[in-house]
Structure 1
């Protein structure tokens, strides 16, 4: 949530929507214009109040000089708490000894890209509380400047070995922040990525502990995907289909994960007879049901992960929307899956 605009009822409603989807923290920047410190101070107080009422953590990107322009000592944690801040993200301007002292009083995030072994030694020597220290990667508004995934993985593995909690950003899918409106991800590969898929990739494969959406909000449909996954452990997939029975029920991947397809166990339990129809080539994301020609496999319900040729014993009954194809590799053992029709998300 950014402070270049006042906190409106619409913005608070968006915060409530994100909270209901399982988000637990808000990030803002207090790197303020030289001529506007009091307006930012008023706005951060309003944001802090809203976060407190919604039980959301509020982390602000701050500098000692910026806080001084607002008449606040960055070392005065009581004054910071009165603003509603629960954590600070400090990019520069403070010695490691001061950061160590602050870490004994509240969570502190540092710039993940610039933390050095010498910084770790200095923090350790100053008795920093590493349980309160986090390493936050930047977001990158300009296309082509986002980080390389392999570099982030190596950096995060080192940071976690030093005791830091790691954080990265994913881009939103609506109301992208100006002036470029090109998303605010940490990874360049995530600039146009499906937000939930990007989040799961960061957490599962790149040693990221926390994920924030760099842009101010997700669309209601994407927010509902987060809600279903993080609150209910159900992975929602938008599909195009004329088969009504697919849409709505919760299906489950088998415990033994197949290479080429997701095998949803309930299909064969519910379908015992099916005539051949639309036995065409199967694209990635095709939803299929085995027909009578497959004998005892009739009713086998699958989502295709690797393009497969046509099979006269396999009916193609739906297609996962392009945006959600990136979620298919995240369907692990026993994962619950729910199909919703494309365009009908909440």
Structure 2
């Protein structure tokens, strides 16, 4: 499922409303980070929880021992958290007390810190009667540049979690408002710090065994959330692009990709059209949208996306191009995905 993050210093209730329309199910928030401004928590928290309840958004608070003090409730009084409306908890401590874990599972969907969970822990948890089907593992986000996880290590760890049937959750950056105090993005994987969050999300979902993606930062574009949700729910890869006049009919269609793909280009399952005139035949660059012309014979009218730079060929017309920020979606289009062109 898709999630966003909300921090009380940047609380925007309208953002919650709009995000819900884009398919968001989870709202992560931290009730323990030292940089957060909790001075107005008594006022903001009820507004936040009420809005999430009205929108049927599941709040996921990241908690530690300091949380109870900030909420002005007795230490480890989980019943109070339940009374406040929390139905899920992301625990940043207390993993080794399996009795507490089992007790909390009666009232909460638990998310454990993936950075401190390993296979030995999971074996011990099973031996102690912990129901792993009611647990997710949530990777950390990393505010400081160069401190995020290496992609390969992240993938290897997730294979272990997947073997035990755990739901795996991770973060990507926002593309509207980065979170204080460093404003350097909040990704799980360092590689994704400078990558469009939509592209990063596809990689997490397709190549990293991730089930749930959260925007770590304070805000993301609504289009970004919608694109991620469409991929998660319908396996549709949305491609912001420019199409030449006469080819705008290709916008906003769900287009199937051919099952037999090459290394150099992605062939689309669209009807061919004979006698396409020869025009705008240029070098075929990565990210170009091309159509075969009448020189291609029975292939005339076939549309492809260029994955690699190829030389000029007279039988191929250029009919558009993918926005440069989204060109890397080409690396994740396969025979099982559909694509949808949208206007820039």
Q: TM-score, normalising length from structure 1? A: 0.88
Give me the whole-angstrom Cα distance separating, in 1, the residues matched to 2:36 and 2:327: 47
CA distance in structure 2 between the aligned counterparts of 1:232 and 1:206, rounded to whole angstroms: 18
- 1:300 corresponds to: 302
- Per the TM alignment, residue 154 of structure 1 is displaced from its structure 2 partner at its CA by 1.1
Q: CA deviation at 1:136?
A: 0.9
Aligned to 1:60: 61
Question: Cα–Cα, structure 1 residues 145 and 82, in superposed 2: closer, same or farther, change >3 Å?
Answer: same
Gaps of 5+ in 1: none
1:108-187 map, 5 Å: 108-187=110-189
The answer for unaligned runs of 5 or more in structure 2 is none
Which position in structure 1 is the counterpart of 2:337? Answer: 335
In structure 2, C-alpha distance between the alignment counterparts of 1:296 and 1:73, rounded to whole Å: 75
Verify: 1:266 aligned to 2:267, yes or no. no
Per the TM alignment, residue 114 of structure 1 is displaced from its structure 2 partner at its CA by 1.0
Query: Which residue in the other structure is 2:227 paired with?
Result: 225
Counterpart in the other structure of 2:22: 21
Report the equivalent of 1:325.
327
For residues 28-75 of structure 1, the C-alpha deviation after alignment (integer angstroms, 9 at most, x for no partner) is: 000165997673354333222211111111110101232145333464
Deviation at 1:233, TM superposition (A): 4.4
Separation in 1 of the partners of 2:327 and 2:35? 45
| Contact residue 173 and residue 219 of structure 1 kept, 8 A | yes
Q: Deviations over 1:239-278 (max 9, x none)?
A: 133234244241321132333211122241xx32222122
Q: Distance in 2 between matches of 1:150 and 1:278?
A: 42
Which deviates more from structure 2 when the two are superposed, residues 188-197 or residues 156-165? 156-165
Distance 1:35 1:147, change over 3 A: closer
Whole-Å Cα distance in 2 between the matches of residues 50 and 21 of structure 1?
Answer: 16
User: 1:196–1:26: structure 2 CA closer, same or farther, 3 Å change rule?
Assistant: same
Over 3 Å counting, the alpha-carbon distance change for 1:338 and 1:33 in structure 2 is closer
- Provide the secondary structure at the position in 1 that maps to 2:9: coil
- CA distance change for structure 1 residues 35 and 324 in 2, over 3 Å: closer, same or farther? closer
Distance 2:50 2:317 in 1: 55
Shift in alpha-carbon separation, 1:231–1:168, aligned structure 2, 3 A: closer
**What's the offset of the Cα at 1:146?**
0.9
Q: In terms of mean alpha carbon deviation, does 70-79 or 253-262 score higher?
A: 70-79
Could you say if the C-alpha distance between residues 166 and 309 of structure 1 is closer, same or farther in structure 2, counting changes exceeding 3 Å? same
Please say if 1:257 is aligned against 2:261. Answer: yes
Give CA deviations for 1:281-328 in whole Å, capped at 9, x if unaligned. Answer: 111111001111111111011111121111110011111111111211
What secondary structure does 2:48 align onto?
Answer: helix
Matching residue within 221, 243, 251 for 1:248: 251
